Chain A
């Protein structure tokens, strides 16, 4: 075991820190779930991409720096240390991009990765349906092959970023009469396609963070099929692995929040009951544990291991840790916890926003109940029935 950073790692960290100090907007951007905030976050993606800081672990030919995941972790640490804007492109760069790199054709890689890296094309996920939430294999949206196109009809929901995004990656039923996990395919679909209607859904904070998508005979070029036709479940599970496993939530995000929580506690400690410090420490310890486990996972992945069902443990841990951390902040703020803005609001309602968002964590990317089933059945070996 060796936990030393090399001098090259340290130099990289300093370069990231220096660049961020010079470029991170001095004022926090408005939420990317508003048109104004979305545009400003897209602009930030362009700024990141221009100096090749958007995706340091991607191959150079697609706009990355060809660095390993340890560098990515260091980048993330500096990124959240600098309190840089959240990544509006996260569905694309963290979930779709690894899938394209694994399953995409060369033409697809060349077509989709560079504009994703530059922020020119921002992606939304279109998997869930009104009748297919936790039971994702119940997907009914169908795609019928018609010459060089698929004709897509059906309905998707909970499509994050879809209100303002440019493209979505959808899981649809391509094989007529197929059931459950069979006969599904992954299609890449422009959100401005004729026949596609978006209905914004107001999420807990009131902003349209996601949308319902209605497909009425939407024609999608057949070349936008990602991975094998009718083999979409496997492709989707690979994406889910990235989502739950490693990329979507690096430790840095939570460690930054834990450090802010300690400061919040320090500012308010004189009026807090004695149990609160225990909760603050618990939150901080959880982020340390998440960090240690992530570095160990990255070491394993870099040595050739793949992340499969155990990724579910990751998702459980960070989502429940995040909710507990933000709940603790709500406790500390007491009577001011409900304030979103104004002079009395603490940190402009940031903790309240964070708490609301943390409540989604145990639901999105596969509910925590589903994750516990996966762990119990596929890792611990308990019987399905």
Chain B
């Protein structure tokens, strides 16, 4: 029992985070939103080992478990990364057979900004715009993949992990804003009303992240709990962040909206709150799963 990332795993995640934040700057995000061309990051994703993070060593991958990809996904959420790196590397690659595997990675490397894929939409090939200006949806067949349970597990965990990262980012942005913005002759961050709002969100984040890690490793009801917790935390983070930013938060003048809109989008992806709550109703309230002390990890 050591419910922490190993040193190597943490190094991988830290490197990914530094890369995401360094490359996907607010300026880059604004350019994409405005329809301008930006650097293609896919070769670097591959170079850092991120695309093959979960691929078998025999295929040149790092063969890391889903929980490490969740760490990377949190970092991607924090950075507001628009590329569907996680969907490719964390959902497609682990469920691809060997021939598909090399194809997936090279195709991903070659592409420009691949659109996010929302599996809840039917297949028509039509591109749909989201309120998130960095997100293009393609109507795709949700399919009858034989691995559908595992695919849903990966997708839900990685979307929850991104929501944790986004929540953290929105808190950090709000803290910076509250330190800087003065009213009544002092920084608004010195007022308890602001402090308490942000401390509440911080606390929710701290009690969501480990749940996401558990969900990655254990699957089952932990996944539904993690996604619901991540959704509730992210919505609270977004509402708190806009409140702390005041009128500025309601505009395109600050970048908060980019992260907030990504959060809204991910809340509905890979099972919305209703889907996961209904699953919990079946499993926890109406099912016969063991409940109580000692049943979370065993």
Contact = CB atoms under 8 A, between A and B. Distances in A.
A300 B213 CA distance: 14
Nearest to B215: A292
B4 A382 contact: no
B293 A292 contact: no
Interface of A: 1-6, 9, 13, 70, 74, 76-78, 80-81, 251-252, 255-256, 258-259, 262, 265-266, 277-278, 280-281, 284-286, 288-293, 295-296, 298-300, 302-303, 310, 312-313, 316-317, 369, 371-373, 375-377, 379-385
Contact of A289 (B179, B192, B210): B210
Contact of B1 (A2, A256, A277, A313): A2
Which 6 pairs between the two chains have the least Cβ-Cβ distance?
A376-B195, A259-B292, A252-B293, A372-B199, A77-B293, A77-B294
Nearest to A254: B293
B110 interface: no
A288 B196 contact: no
Contact of A299 (B2, B179, B189, B192): B2
B228 A369 contact: no
22 contacts: A1-B65, A1-B213, A6-B1, A251-B293, A280-B285, A281-B277, A284-B284, A285-B229, A289-B225, A292-B214, A292-B296, A295-B3, A295-B296, A300-B4, A303-B4, A313-B206, A375-B199, A376-B189, A379-B202, A380-B199, A380-B202, A385-B190
A372 B200 CA distance: 7
A264 B200 CA distance: 29
A293 B206 contact: yes
B140 to A, nearest CB: 31
Interface of B: 1-6, 9, 65, 67, 171, 175, 178-179, 186-187, 189-190, 192, 194-196, 198-200, 202-203, 206-211, 213-214, 217-218, 222, 225, 228-229, 277, 280-281, 284-285, 291-298
Contact of A1 (B9, B199, B277, B292): B9
A76 B199 contact: no
A371 B4 contact: no
Residue with the greatest number of chain A CB neighbours at <10 A, chosen from B195, B196, B209:
B195
B297 A371 contact: no
B225 A285 contact: yes
Contacts of B217: 1, 3
Contacts of B195: 372-373, 376-377, 380, 382
Nearest to B290: A259
Contacts of A280: 285
Given A81-B293, A255-B291, A375-B202, 20 more contacts: A1-B4, A255-B293, A255-B295, A277-B281, A284-B284, A288-B225, A288-B296, A289-B210, A293-B206, A293-B207, A293-B210, A372-B192, A373-B195, A376-B195, A377-B195, A380-B171, A380-B199, A382-B179, A383-B187, A385-B190
B209 to A, nearest CB: 8
Nearest to A2: B2
A68 to B, nearest CB: 9
Contacts of A293: 206-207, 209-211
